[in-house]
Chain A
Amino acid sequence: MRDCFVRTTTALLDDDPRTALVLADISAAAFAPAAARHPDRVLNMGIREQLMVGVAGGLALTGLRPFVHSYATFAVDRAYEQIKLDLGHQQVAAVLVSVGASYDGSQYGYTHFSPGDVALLDTLDGWTVQVPGHPNEVAAMLRAAAAQNNKIYIRLSAQQNITSRPATGRLELIRASSNPKAALLLAVGPMLDAVLAATEGMDVAVAYTNTPRPFDAAGLRATRHTTVIVVEPYLAGTSSRVVSDALRDTPHRLLALGVDRVDLHRYGAPADHARWHGLDPAGLRARIEAFA
């Protein structure tokens, strides 16, 4: 996904003089050709993430469309107040593109994890959040983001599904169930394949989204399912607020699965962390069966 980001953003910088890219050393080498062609619009701050977002706010104040990029934990967690004030409070926007989703940087340890990035942005107004489940979903998201003026967070990951799906902004029903009492699994981004594997042979419906914000509340209600299991690749419960709100007029049950609110102090591979957080197919299936 990062390669696709570099390729597409480089092309956007070539094609659209309104776009700019602000970096804090992460991926700077990959963008060196773009920086050589557009030295005024490809700006590497060095390891300065507060400045990265502040500069993006200043660029946007002059009418440019800044893309901002780093590890999620540095771009969002560390620069949270700049996101809140230098963008939101100024009523200007940027496109934040992160890598290192949740525990992608598993061998680096917890200092490089950001399971809470989407929850942090959920404290703010007006952020679109996109969580591609496949590298082929990334380019269209970036091109659409370049053409808009709103605040967009694109959360790239090294985890992916086997097949790509379009970014429609709507819930996409992957597997239907004729039983309205069956549970609806809502898989966000790269969680889809694990959800499909976990629910094989079960009478459940499965829906997919790679655009969890703004949440497709109408799409969820239209499924008519009232037992909902959200499986998202970041902090468990992040989407409970929007799902509960979507179903506020309907008695419903909700199970929120995602990354646990725990610092495991462990390394290993992302697949190990998925297992430890119960997000591998076996872990998901056990919890889905217990609930549904």
Chain B
Amino acid sequence: MTVTTTNGAGDVAVLLRRLTGDEKHEASAHSTLDVLWVLYDRVLRVTAQTVDDPLRDRFLLSKGHGPQAYYAVLAAKGFIPVEWLDDWAGPQSRLGHHPDRLLVPGVEISSGSLGHGLGLAVGTTLGLRAQGLLTPRVYVLLGDAELDEGSNHEAIAYAGALGLTRLTAIVIDNQSASHGWPGGIASRFTVNGWIARTVDGRDHDQIEAALRTHEPGRPDVVIAQVRRKADA
């Protein structure tokens, strides 16, 4: 088994095509790709060698749907062998249509059913705090349609009321929620005391700047806007 490490976002696009086997789809079709790349290339303090380090940053993909970009980034960063991309969701594959933490090194949670990641992220942040592990930050990625699930709003209200620090939510907003979010997604968080920043979900510098800006005593959320799924 060989692990190939690559270093550029361009290579990720190649890996993504290798995974999907679909030449027609540009990498830009995948709404999460740019945010995931910025996270793993510039922000997260976790490597293939530190996936079990208690002091690592945690990234939780709550929105387990469409994990191709996630797998491609993990392969590009050497967490998994690129060969794994060739048998996506096959009978022997470790890479399913939803990721499994028991099968994929670096995957923090098994997800797929929407509305579970934010609660797990709040618990992870609290667990680290209770053990005095104050350097790791917990990032959790959700979709705008995933916010339909009421369980998210339990977590948003509680984390805000607690003023929970070292927790960053990221909402990929490709306007796919059936009934939309009148008044905006950010307001659902800010009314509960979160800091919210809205960025162009394709602009790496904007994404990085937002992911690196925190305020004491408050959780934060980055709304990454990308084109509608149907337009992409």
Interface of A toward B, CB cutoff 8 Å: 17, 20, 40-41, 43, 45-46, 48, 50-51, 53-64, 66, 81-82, 85-86, 89-91
Q: Is the CB of B121 within 8 A of A58?
A: yes
Q: Is the CB of A54 within 8 A of B119?
A: yes
| A58 and B158 alpha carbons, distance in the complex (Å) | 14
- Whether B72 sits at the interface, judged by CB under 8 Å, is no
Q: Is the CB of B130 within 8 A of A58?
A: no
Beyond A40-B126, A51-B158, A55-B120, 6 additional contacts (C-beta under 8 Å) are: A41-B130, A51-B154, A59-B126, A61-B123, A63-B54, A90-B109
Cβ < 8 Å to A, chain B residues 109-147? 109-110, 113, 115-116, 118-131, 133
The distance from the CB of B203 to the nearest CB of chain A, in whole angstroms, is: 31
Among B126, B131, B150, the residue within 8 A (CB) of A58 is B126
Number of B residues near A (Cβ < 8 Å) is 31
Contact flag A58-B127 (CB < 8 Å), given A45-B158, A51-B122, A51-B158: yes
The distance from the CB of B101 to the nearest CB of chain A, in whole angstroms, is: 6
For B128, the closest partner residue in chain A by CB is A62
| A62 and B129 alpha carbons, distance in the complex (Å) | 10
Q: Is the CB of B130 within 8 A of A54?
A: no
B157: which A residues are within 8 A, CB to CB?
A: 46, 48
| A81 and B128 alpha carbons, distance in the complex (Å) | 24
| A129 and B87 alpha carbons, distance in the complex (Å) | 40
Q: Is the CB of A48 within 8 A of B158?
A: yes
For A22, the closest partner residue in chain B by CB is B123
Q: Give 5 closest A-B pairs by Cβ, nearest first.
A: A58-B123, A54-B119, A62-B127, A55-B123, A58-B124
The distance from the CB of A83 to the nearest CB of chain B, in whole angstroms, is: 11
Q: Is the CB of B130 within 8 A of A40?
A: yes
| A91 and B101 alpha carbons, distance in the complex (Å) | 9
B113: which A residues are within 8 A, CB to CB?
A: 81, 85
The distance from the CB of A68 to the nearest CB of chain B, in whole angstroms, is: 11
- Whether B155 sits at the interface, judged by CB under 8 Å, is yes
B158: which A residues are within 8 A, CB to CB?
A: 45-46, 48, 51
B161: which A residues are within 8 A, CB to CB?
A: 46
Among B109, B130, B154, the residue within 8 A (CB) of A59 is B130
Interface of B toward A, CB cutoff 8 Å: 54, 101-102, 108-110, 113, 115-116, 118-131, 133, 150-151, 154-155, 157-158, 161
| A58 and B129 alpha carbons, distance in the complex (Å) | 12
A51: which B residues are within 8 A, CB to CB?
A: 119, 122, 151, 154-155, 158
Q: Is the CB of B110 within 8 A of A57?
A: no
In this complex, which of B110, B116, B155, B161 has the most chain A Cβ atoms within 10 angstroms of its Cβ? B116
For A91, the closest partner residue in chain B by CB is B102
B109: which A residues are within 8 A, CB to CB?
A: 61, 90
The distance from the CB of B30 to the nearest CB of chain A, in whole angstroms, is: 24
Q: Is the CB of B151 within 8 A of A61?
A: no
A53: which B residues are within 8 A, CB to CB?
A: 119
A58: which B residues are within 8 A, CB to CB?
A: 119-127
| A40 and B128 alpha carbons, distance in the complex (Å) | 10
Q: Is the CB of B110 within 8 A of A54?
A: no
| A61 and B121 alpha carbons, distance in the complex (Å) | 10
A60: which B residues are within 8 A, CB to CB?
A: 123, 127
Q: Is the CB of A90 within 8 A of B120?
A: yes
B108: which A residues are within 8 A, CB to CB?
A: 61
B119: which A residues are within 8 A, CB to CB?
A: 50-51, 53-55, 57-58, 82, 86
The distance from the CB of B8 to the nearest CB of chain A, in whole angstroms, is: 32
A54: which B residues are within 8 A, CB to CB?
A: 116, 118-120, 122-123, 151, 155
| A137 and B119 alpha carbons, distance in the complex (Å) | 33
| A82 and B152 alpha carbons, distance in the complex (Å) | 12
Show 8 A/B contacts (Cβ-Cβ < 8 Å), sorted by A.
Answer: A41-B130, A48-B157, A54-B122, A61-B120, A62-B124, A62-B130, A82-B116, A90-B110
| A90 and B64 alpha carbons, distance in the complex (Å) | 14
For B118, the closest partner residue in chain A by CB is A54
For A39, the closest partner residue in chain B by CB is B130
